């Protein structure tokens, strides 16, 4: 059940990230905590949710997170009013990978599976 919920949370977070990243800047909500921290939090939480929800090798999940973040930055080059930034990519990918690795290290990544052994490969 936890794995299924984590998959849904991951899909919701990924969808939210894509919409907010490609929407015009004036439609993007601002929390007041700063753009880098906003980015780091949502990508970190997404990494945790993905690690719990998906039973794949940690290296593959980290690679997918990096590819997703890079692709999202590139797509921003084509979104009106948006632009790709290397700094955003570094924060986003780093936070997502950190979330995946922390989940795997702490054993959270195995919480949704029948076997509760370590998930780090």
Taking the model in full, what pTM does it have?
Answer: 0.86
Q: Where are the domains of the chain?
A: 2-21+34-110
Q: Using one digit for the tens of pLDDT, what is the confidence trace for 68-116?
A: 999 999 999 999 889 899 999 999 999 999 999 999 888 877 765 554 4
Which of these, 28, 22, 4, lies nearest to 113 by C-alpha position?
Answer: 4
CA 68 to chain centre: 8
User: Measured between alpha carbons, how far is 8 from 98 in angstroms, rounded to an integer?
Assistant: 20
């Amino acid at each position: 059940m936890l794995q299924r919920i984590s998959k849904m949370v991951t899909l919701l977070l990924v969808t939210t990230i894509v919409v907010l990243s490609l929407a015009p800047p004036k439609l993007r909500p601002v929390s007041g905590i700063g753009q880098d921290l906003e980015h780091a939090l949502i990508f970190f939480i997404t990494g945790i949710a993905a690690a719990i929800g998906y039973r794949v090798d940690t290296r593959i999940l980290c690679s997918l997170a990096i590819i997703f973040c890079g692709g999202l930055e590139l797509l921003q080059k084509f979104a009106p009013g948006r632009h790709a930034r290397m700094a955003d990519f570094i924060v986003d990918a780093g936070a997502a990978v950190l979330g995946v690795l922390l989940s795997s290290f702490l054993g959270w990544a195995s919480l949704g599976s029948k076997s509760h052994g370590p998930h780090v490969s």
